[in-house]
Structure 1
């Protein structure tokens, strides 16, 4: 019999309260020395300058350690200002992040982000996502997908960097999303936090953390578990994870830290459905036997060395392992018979990297950064065709499939690897209220594929490909401080998207004998001009105009006249232009009257207006079309009412305009009701409500409702199927800290 979530919650709460072994999620994350957070490059005590401190609640510091972000559009969300984010609710996590589009799915096996209509949001392939400056992608170069996302309880803030992010962090077009982990409690040797929640669809989640600082050492450790039955049959999921941080400060000029992250996720996959099925019953399950298993382990060592007040070196070295295993099947709707076979897949990544950055402050207000980055990944990719629809994830078969109908055999085997190296430099020059930032980055990628087994239905040669690209990137930024705490910024930066494994050696496409996939990398040139500031107490604003030119988009296309049937080839298909407006405003009515208040009532809103179109294309029919997943507007707004250590309440909504899901701007299978998908994803607005309430200094109650109006919607769609969004759900729980 399945244990009761309520009983589990009560037992855990009592246990942790009695023995005080709970873990800490403190809202007083230990700060770096004040000079790290200085907005000016000369020595300024920001902590003593209240107006600048307010500005840093919304923007990254102009020199953030060895990162120069002045003249680049940035924004941050500090999680201690939001109610607790439960069940990896990314809509809540990004509620105040302008312009970032989330393509949602009910099961937590993937993270789907997009920005300014550049690329498909599927698995966030066109957005760089980092944790503490280290890539979260499965394979940073060859397979840049996000299948594991840190628990919000482990994070202190979300940073977003737009134009120029490629010059700071490397591949993938802007933006970069950097998730900053919480730091150990600085003022005690032992602090603890335990959080336990139950909710709709048999949700049960527990998060437990301890941390502290003693002498020259600090530490943080947490364990967490989450499970849910999901909204549909076979929509269940379970996550087990742990994080460990150990820090050592031998003297005031040096700091060493060791960090370990572990995630073990299993989810069902209830499947996608036709539009007709969605209208009839959005809780239909079309793949009752599909499963996804994800494991990721990562270990990193960071050294922060200050040679003097002007010079700082930060070096990160990391290694890790990720395994994406799945059991998939052809979708069907009862009473149709189930497919006779399923497909097992195992995608393994063994990766490691190094990133070293040197900052040197010179003259009056100037600073220079120099850095190097290296990365390597081995990523074998295998598939098997299996007759048993409930076969386990570790089932393996040796012989290769000789015919498409054969079962219990190996369908595909590719050995893959990627290498990446970069060197970069930036300098900020200041004179009076003006600042100029030139940037340069030189990058090199190598992708290698050696295929020994290919799908039996393909007549092409085995893939044996190795490609190398060398890419120089340049950027320049310019800005001016004016009035009272206002600043203009202007930035022009290059970026690019490296070729992936599938671009040069797709295992699923058919090509003629001797024919190869050899597209050029996709290149990006972004322009951004804006102004931001907090000219009066309680008010922050940031508005900008942008244009992003994307050239050499990579797509799979028919090989052309005379080619074998179903022969496709990956080519550079055309160029797109993305331009628009992005604005953000936050007004705190109570802080406007008293900047030192402990109570805050703020109204926040942000909007991204987008005009995107194809400027050139190999397919004349697409010329002038809107690129897929480029909504005309994306708006967020809400109310945030909080009092320190008393309560937090947030009401937020996100509204997304209708958008085409494919570049042709046409519906899919218009004459086939079983596969028909409308040309546009419908407009939808979603509302969420959440809150925390302290009944004592140590005990907090948590509650919330997602999709408050129970809107029926979808925003994740493919050429022959859609995935429904999540219906109204709710949670309630409590936390204990000491």
Structure 2
């Protein structure tokens, strides 16, 4: 209310002066006297801050988003409705406007690999917290933080990226948080149905179907999706199914209850990884023709929001998730060689329960206080069988059991933070979070080649986290921000009880911790323009790694520390925004974002490691594009360009001949084009080409080889709305 009062005072003063002037003129006219009095000029300037805030919300999160305080934190929001439909989860295209996030591409849809600012290997996104509507998508958030399921992008409304301070806001992983926001039916939506159907190269067949309604006190949305692909190699075919259901009840304007159900099921062949030499000779080579992966994930969420009055509000969620990972894996063999004699069937199940409860109190002039707690429990049995049947079914446990571990995880936290609004548009945000982690493993069967006793291990850790943010609004829609905050990586099941090695004594390692510093400036100073430029410095301590004493004897130790520093910049401009074309719904947007990174080992127990570059730390990652959109057309051209990068921390090549693997993955640039054409109210056409230049590249390497990325692929289809 304060800015409105300030804006109203000059207006009230002018009204008073006008009334006095009118009264004086009437009096003079009554007496027949006409006088002219020249008053000093008064200049009145009004600065409507709301238009700048609204402009910035096209690119960043609100400063206070429900019970979450994001002011002084660097955030980026990608509104997927402002770009063409993303088909077959092309994540480089979906995250083109998300600076700094490195997508390590894997063609099969059963693993998703992200990394950020050189902190950790992107394998299954272990160092990045990925959430859907504020709930972790990892198999087990604490004991097994890996990403094996990802919703179809057609079911998402936006992608939120939160950097420093993300651990204080949501919990473990160092940084960042990628939060996927599900689509909801807009208010007053009548009963609406739509179907989207696409075909494309490599046997692509995609269908996504929705029915929704939001009128009165009740709202619902249900969708079902299916994607099939033959892949680019033999044994590379995949199927992905998804179903979602959302039901909301709003008894009054002060509260809402909702129920969310998400189901994802994926099955894919695994054609195996290749050496660099094999990839050069024939990228279609298959080394594991019998291997296959299955993923099933079901999640049920109950949520409630309540405005209690007196500036108090509640946001609470309870959830249960069941996820099952099954893989069939035999040793690699080149074409023409004898097939392996047996295969391993592996089954990892995850039953996790969680609660997230947050309260917010608005006080004073723009101040807000939040407090909350998170409680989490996981029960995650891990089993393996050896079978002579190379095509053993996923539920066939008739083979010899070679591994059985009962695993449990517990996690609790309490947290609080406050935004203080000070004079001169200064704001300060102190944050505190207290964490507790407990993991346990009880092993009853271990592989026969091990000599160690069965593992029965429990480990508990406590950790306080602190953060401080400073900011200042200046000029027209500009803001400087500074944030320093702590983060951490949880101790995993494998860190205390590795199932495939003889773990020697003295393996209890220290937690991996981070301290992140970031300072920058962002804003929307003129119509159509948004910018965000920051410098960052991240110290990551106590990196946890395996040291092999011999072929099977290992020890888990804190091998060293890394430092990541650099610059991250984003620029968006809509050429039509300052013109009358914007009032007609026309937009011509161009964007470019860049992450410049310098990451190094600064301490290490490994001789000669200090000064080396951590794996997956490209010197630059640039994303750019242009989009033309109006009520009928969305046409987008995007590009992702990455510098060469090491794929392992040693920065060394290995092997020779057919086993050769260079130390670095070559630089690459990939261009995509996508389009939506709304022919009439009901019919929309879709078409696009990925990897337009047919770039021959890879950006995914693991210990046993590389995975070729897709070449040029096309798709086309239609969508109907009723």
TM-score bracket, shorter-length normalisation: over 0.9
Equivalent of 2:569 in 554, 577, 583: 583
In structure 2, the CA distance between the partners of 1:393 and 1:582, relative to structure 1 (3 Å rule), is same
Partner Cα distance (2:161, 2:181) in 1: 11
1:491 pairs with 2:483: yes
Q: Which residue of 2 aligns with 1:424?
A: 415
Deviations 1:16-48 (A, max 9, x none): xxxxxxxxxxxxxxxxxxx9xx999x9xxx999
Structure 1 position 598 matched with structure 2 position 590: no
Counterpart-to-counterpart distance in 1, 2:312 and 2:539: 37
2:18 maps to what in 1? none
Aligned residues of 2:72 and 2:429 also touching (Cα < 8 A): yes
Residue number in structure 1 paired with 2:609: 622
1:32-88 deviation digits (Å, cap 9, x = unpaired): xxx9xx999x9xxx9994332221000100000000000000000001001000011
**1:246-645 residue pairs with structure 2 within 5 A?**
246-308=247-309, 310-397=311-398, 408-432=399-423, 433-512=425-504, 515=505, 517-559=507-549, 566-594=552-580, 596-644=583-631
Q: Conserved in 2, the CA contact under 8 Å of 1:677 and 1:719?
A: no
Question: In 2, distance between residues paired with 1:686 and 1:217?
Answer: 44
Aligned partner of residue 279 in structure 1, secondary structure: helix
Shift of 1:310: 1.5
Q: Verify the 8 A CA contact 2:415 2:434 in the aligned structure 1.
A: yes
1:124 has 2:125 as partner = yes
1: CA distance, partners of 2:298 / 2:704 = 35
| d(CA) in 2 for partners of 1:631, 1:218 | 45
Distance 2:76 2:592 in 1: 13
Alpha-carbon shift at residue 106 of structure 1 (Å): 1.1
- Conservation of the 8 A alpha-carbon contact between 1:383 and 1:410: yes
Equivalent position of 2:14 in the other structure: none
Asked whether the equivalents of residues 621 and 664 of structure 1 are also in contact (C-alpha less than 8 Å), the reply is no
Shift of 1:188: 2.8
Residue 691, structure 1, aligned to residue 675, structure 2: yes
Give the conservation status (yes or no) of the 8 Å contact 1:129–1:136. Answer: yes
- Native 8 Å contact 1:537 1:593 kept in 2: no
Question: Which range is displaced more, 710-719 or 581-590?
Answer: 710-719
- Name the counterpart of 2:75: 74
- CA distance, structure 1, for counterparts of residue 713 and residue 259 of structure 2: 38
The answer to whether structure 1 residue 663 and structure 2 residue 649 are counterparts is yes
Deviation string, structure 1 residues 638-691 (Cα, Å, up to 9, x no partner) = 1111112x000110000010011111111122xx32322100011011000000
Q: Is contact 2:563-2:602 (8 Å) kept?
A: yes
Structure 1 Cα separation of the partners of residues 303 and 506 of structure 2: 42
Checking the alignment, whether the CA contact within 8 Å between 1:185 and 1:191 is kept in structure 2 is no
Please tell me whether the aligned partners of residues 196 and 207 of structure 1 are also in contact (alpha carbons under 8 angstroms): yes
Q: CA deviation at 1:516?
A: 5.2
Question: How far off its partner does 1:511 sit?
Answer: 2.8
CA-based RMSD: 1.9
d(CA) in 1 for partners of 2:355, 2:503: 37
Unaligned runs of 5+ in 2: 7-46
> d(CA) in 2 for partners of 1:244 and 1:450?
37
Per the TM alignment, residue 520 of structure 1 is displaced from its structure 2 partner at its CA by: 1.2
2:663 aligns with 679
Paired position in structure 1 for 2:13: none
| TM-score, normalised with respect to structure 2 | 0.92
Please give the alpha-carbon distance, in whole angstroms, between the structure 2 residues aligned to 1:343 and 1:224. 31
Contact residue 677 and residue 720 of structure 1 kept, 8 A: no
Distance (whole Å) between structure 1 residues aligned to residue 3 and residue 382 of structure 2:
46
Counterparts of 1:253 and 1:240, CA distance in 2: 36
- Residues 162-213 of structure 1, C-alpha deviation per residue, up to 9 Å, x if partnerless? 0000000000011000000011132233011110000001111111101111
Cross-structure match for 1:110: 111
Query: Distance in 2 between the 1:589 and 1:293 partners?
Result: 46
Match of 1:219 in 2: 220
Secondary structure of the 1:149 match is: coil
Are the aligned partners of 2:52 and 2:476 in contact in 1 as well (CA < 8 Å)? no
- Cα distance in 2 between the residues matched to 1:325 and 1:191: 37
Distance 1:617 1:51 in 2: 47
SS class of match (1:472): strand
Report the Cα offset of residue 277 of structure 1: 0.5
Residue 720 of structure 1: how far off its partner (Å)? 3.4
* Counterpart-to-counterpart distance in 2, 1:464 and 1:211: 50
Greater Rg by CA: 2
Q: Are 1:39 and 1:61, in contact at CA under 8 Å, matched by a contact in 2? A: no
Choose 78-87 or 672-681, whichever is displaced more.
Answer: 672-681
Q: Name the residue aligned to 1:723.
A: 707
Identify the residue that residue 23 of structure 2 maps to in structure 1: none
2:699 is paired with a residue whose SS is strand
Match of 1:13 in 2: none
The CA distance in 2 between the partners of 1:189 and 1:592, in whole Å, is 34
List alignment gaps of at least 5 residues for structure 1: 1-34, 398-407
Distance 1:233 1:150 in 2: 26
> Would the aligned equivalents of 2:503 and 2:555 in 1 still touch at CA under 8 Å?
yes
2-side partners of 1:245 and 1:204: how far apart? 26
For residues 121 and 733 of structure 1, the distance between their equivalents in structure 2, rounded to whole angstroms, comes to 33
- The corresponding residue for 2:689 is 705
Kindly provide the CA deviation profile for residues 622-647 of structure 1, in whole angstroms up to 9, marking residues without a partner as x: 11100111110000011111112x00
Q: Name the SS for the 2:589 alignment partner.
A: strand
Q: Is the 8 A contact 2:450 2:552 kept in 1?
A: no
Q: How far off its partner does 1:558 sit?
A: 2.8
The equivalences for 1:32-47 within 5 A come to none
Q: Return the TM-score normalized by structure 1.
A: 0.90
Change (3 A) 1:47 1:214: farther
Q: Do the aligned partners of 1:449 and 1:465 also contact (CA within 8 Å) in 2?
A: yes
Q: Distance in 1 between matches of 2:64 and 2:3?
A: 7
* Structure 1 equivalent of residue 26 of structure 2: none
Deviation readout 1:409-434 (Å, 9 max, x if unpaired): 11111100100000000000011310
Quote how far apart the aligned CAs of 1:565 are: 5.6
Give the 3-state SS of the residue equivalent to 1:590 in structure 2. Answer: coil
Conserved in 1, the CA contact under 8 Å of 2:152 and 2:242?
Answer: no
